[in-house]
Structure 1
């Protein structure tokens, strides 16, 4: 509780409400006990940041505070995860004590709070970017492409002693999230791109930084700029510290960053993708109602440029709830596929796929609870095992037999893809340069990274074949 509302049972109450929610689509606000209180929460790095707010308080102010709190913890501890929080509990408690005074926010500015912190951060083991949820940690490396030493991502940005190594570093990430819905005939129904440019600075006392974007960058229905292919977005917004006096003329962002993480720009492109979609999935479904067997053949084609690749590719395919068994045939040995009994789905995992290549998988699913003997009009005759003998059930309507009717086939799909594409931006936006203006004691190392990953990538299946 921010201002002492509620009782000690609030933690258990929030835990019960969150664990009762289906999947990961949790609402941001939930009603709490006693009446008149609400939970406001956000999730970062697998951790929940929760506050209780009364009915008359601003919900958006609570969310803004929680997001800033998460950014401050990441700047103070380095990697934001459960282990880092456990190691730096004393530092985080001191940070919260300076942030809030009797439930009222004092300041969330890193440069102000830094002067009051006395506890040194404790560093955990070296970090590796193998999980999609950690894409916001700058300077980490993957197994496929290194962009900077991994120790940079696990190092706190707000060092109390000012010891940042022999040379400071600045990381600039262009991150894009794809939301795609593809119809059963292969035509895109929805294609949205949400992008942002994030800056993480380990450079103290920086006078000014200039970030040059693509000269052909257009916002809305502006006339085309430059001589190359236009890079168009529907709308964009900037951080309050970004100066835009050179943006209209030369597409340059000017900012004087403090140490820590900062989102310089956010942009959106709706119902259009300038490049080809990263993946196309071609499903073929065959079913045999009498035997209760369903065969699903999936061909996954990667339409990225040949020099690009995708990692951590997962295809999530819901199957009928009455599924009994699964057999599979995969096109390469590094792929894996498992039947998730808890969610009644098939999980097809591809560690890496090169642009221009394609993979395939054949899944054979046995569905139903009995063996079909014969069909008579609108009724089925089933032979169901019962102890050591068999019992013949007659005059059962077809639509009421679980796993054997058309209703069971409707539970098949749609397929959902998740993936990460390093060094690639679907919008075509590029960082031309990253420069520093004014007298500098030493220029920092500059790292620029592009990454595109799926926010929602769904392909509908036609189970009528």
Structure 2
């Protein structure tokens, strides 16, 4: 994200992971809201997603997928990645960051960072960490936060603001005060971006949905499929002025 708030580059990289505890070697079929499949079958496409760069685990029958987009497989036991995909989609930042840096008489600097969640209130981002770069010669840090905690990370010349739980539709503020040496360096520092990390359980920014997970077995095989969605921040950087 640029310093003026426009999204410079964004994409969604996703995967479907399995944790399998089944007896025998039953065949499974997975149904997604795949745009190409919906076009083939004449379904409503408004809630379909267009998957790109799809890569499958070796257990998936590729010929079947290429023929009619059916994801059919005999899964290995335990944990594995069934497939990965990419969506070349412009996504607004789920946690929006604004920062303002103000210097006072070459001896003090104040940084104000505002964080706003841009998703619905029924979802919550967990373990949010916001790394804010500061001048490398700053010292004597003091912090004030409306929620969470802030700490000075001198080896990275940055402030780390952590928020354990960040509900949707909320806005929080962190203020940091630093002293600066009385003799100012003539060398200009490269402006480093703010970085943000978080995860949102039971939430999918891509819009991908598991429509069904079926066990194809003649003998009345009993099993309980369970699906969990999670969104992680990936590489999220915001340039500063």
- Provide the TM-score with structure 1 as the length reference: 0.48
Deviation at 1:217, TM superposition (A): 5.5
Query: Cα 1:224–1:418, aligned 2, differ >3 Å: closer, same or farther?
Result: farther
| Aligned counterpart, 2:122 | 307
| Aligned counterpart, 2:177 | 364
Is 1:451 matched up with 2:230? yes
| Aligned counterpart, 2:102 | 286
Separation of aligned partners in 1, 2:133 and 2:93: 23
What is the alpha-carbon root mean square deviation over aligned residues? Answer: 2.6
Query: Cα 1:224–1:257, aligned 2, differ >3 Å: closer, same or farther?
Result: closer
Deviation at 1:317, TM superposition (A): 1.3
Separation of aligned partners in 2, 1:343 and 1:440: 60
Q: Counterparts in 2 of 1:74-85, with a 5 A limit?
A: none
Higher helix share: 1
Separation of aligned partners in 1, 2:97 and 2:223: 44
Is 1:265 matched up with 2:60? no
Q: Counterparts in 2 of 1:53-64, with a 5 A limit?
A: none
Deviation at 1:419, TM superposition (A): 0.4
Separation of aligned partners in 1, 2:168 and 2:70: 32
Contact 1:192–1:268, Cα closer than 8 Å, also in 2? yes
Q: Which has the higher contact order (CA 8 A, sep 6+)?
A: 2
Query: Would you say how many aligned residue pairs link Structure 1 and Structure 2?
Result: 240
Deviation at 1:215, TM superposition (A): 4.5
String of CA shifts for 1:420-464, please: whole Å, max 9, x gaps: 1111121111101111111357522322111111221111111xx
Is 1:201 matched up with 2:20? yes
Deviation at 1:198, TM superposition (A): 1.2
Please give the secondary structure, in 1, of the residue aligned with 2:9.
strand
Contact 2:34–2:50, Cα closer than 8 Å, also in 1? no
Is 1:336 matched up with 2:117? no
Is 1:192 matched up with 2:11? yes
Question: Highest CA radius of gyration, 1 or 2?
Answer: 1
| Aligned counterpart, 2:188 | 407
| Aligned counterpart, 2:43 | 226
Contact 1:234–1:268, Cα closer than 8 Å, also in 2? yes
Please give the secondary structure, in 2, of the residue aligned with 1:242.
coil
| Aligned counterpart, 1:435 | 214
- Provide the TM-score with structure 2 as the length reference: 0.89
| Aligned counterpart, 1:240 | 58
Separation of aligned partners in 2, 1:456 and 1:237: 21
Contact 1:323–1:367, Cα closer than 8 Å, also in 2? yes
Please give the secondary structure, in 2, of the residue aligned with 1:342.
helix
